[in-house]
Structure 1
Amino acid sequence: MTEHTDDGATVYTDEWSGYARLSAEGRGHATVNHTPGQREWARDDDGDGIREVHDNTLEGLWAALRTFLRPFRGISKHYLHQYVAVFQWAYNKVGVAGMVRTLLGLPLSTPTAS
């Protein structure tokens, strides 16, 4: 994690013990509890009505990657990074296009001619 985050960055995760060292490595760390019976998916720590602590974005990204890879019915680990790069490009392209359309006040999708 420390190789891919800046000093002082806050990392939002579940409570997996592998993340326990983040605070000692100079990273802020906030968690949500996914333990059965105590499940929380997001938390509002400062009481302003916005749930700042969650890891739903990342979980959604992994779910989208799995869906993207499923039609290939298994791929070699040797080429996995290339499949992930194509997915990353497509994911970012759609995200940027949607953001630009929103900023311009345009609909997110163009109506099709019938």
Structure 2
Amino acid sequence: MLQRGGAVMIEMLENVRQVTIQSPIMQLTASGMWAYTGEYDSYRQLPEWGFDLPYRSHGRGEYARDDDENGFHEVHVNTAARFWSPLCAWLRPHRGISREKLPLYLGFFQCVHNVRIRGKGLLRPLLELLVA
């Protein structure tokens, strides 16, 4: 889960069925929040779990929407796509990673996103996490 302008929280789940995703979603978010999602079937229960659910219909060519017509497209998930894109590009050359090691890669990318430092400056926050 990713809060726009905030931190990302990654948890590797066994699968993405509704029964599996409900607990982490409910623990990490507050009822009444907006949940920006795609049309994936597992998200269809979110309104019943107390979330407002604006989504884009990629199947109809919709990728962003300005619901209140103020010129700002509130309904999109570009923030999440921007987070996953470098992770996928970084993992692609490995042609698969073991299920046991994937949480380490995800944790690294979570840390890099959340400290918001790139290059050599990233070393200190990583070392502080390792020795903490």
Whether TM-score is above 0.5 comes out as yes
Q: 1:16 aligns with which of 29, 33, 40?
A: 40
1:42 equivalent to 2:88? Answer no
The Cα RMSD (Å) is: 1.8
- Deviation of the 1:45 alpha carbon: 0.2
Aligned to 1:30: 54
For normalisation by structure 2, the TM-score amounts to 0.63
**Count of residue correspondences:** 94
User: Which structure carries more strand by proportion?
Assistant: 1
| Structure whose alpha-carbon radius of gyration is higher | 1
Gaps of 5+ in 2: 1-24, 119-132
More helix by proportion, 1 or 2? Answer: 2
Q: How does 1:1-114 map to 2 (within 5 A)?
A: 1-35=25-59, 38-93=60-115, 95=116, 97=117
> Distance in 2 between the 1:73 and 1:30 partners?
35
Gaps in structure 1 of 5+ consecutive residues: 99-114
Once the two structures are TM-superposed, the CA of residue 20 in structure 1 deviates from its matched residue by 1.2
| Secondary structure of the structure 1 residue equivalent to 2:53 | strand
Q: If the length of structure 1 is used for normalisation, what is the TM-score?
A: 0.72
In 1, the alpha carbon distance for the partners of 2:45 and 2:98 equals 32
Give the % identical residues: 37
Q: Retained in 2: the 8 A contact 1:9–1:28?
A: yes
CA-CA distance at 1:67 after TM superposition: 1.5
